[in-house]
Amino acid sequence: MDFLTFKTFISTEALIIFYYLGAIILPIFLWFMLSWFVRKYKLLEITYKNGKEFFWKLLTKKQQIKFIILFLVSFLFMELFWRMLFEFLIAYMQIRDALLQI
């Protein structure tokens, strides 16, 4: 009952589990769901393939490489932000526990 009334907080171990779910499982899950969704609906599959071909034909090789690098750097920054968010939450929990002991 204390958990439901927020008298006790979620544990650090649960935060670590949620961190790994969001950092590893979620991107993989979204990748598979997107590819399943595109394959399931023919109109989306056609639109996706035509759009991808059109977009890649517009870009030079140098621009394609820059685009891929931009995507990877953006993904890494999102992962870094996710990590920092959970580090902040865990630090908050530890500070709160230390203050309660005083």
pLDDT at 102: 85
pTM of the model: 0.78
Q: How far is CA 1 from CA 6, 9, 42, in A?
A: 9, 12, 49
The pLDDT, as a whole number, for residue 27 is: 95
> What confidence tens digit (pLDDT) does each residue in 29-88 have?
999 999 999 999 999 999 999 999 999 999 999 999 999 999 999 999 999 999 999 999
Alpha-helical (H) ranges within 3-60 are 12-20, 26-40, 42-58
pLDDT in tens, 1-13: 777 787 777 788 8
Domain ranges of the chain: 12-94
pLDDT for res 6: 75
Length of the chain: 102
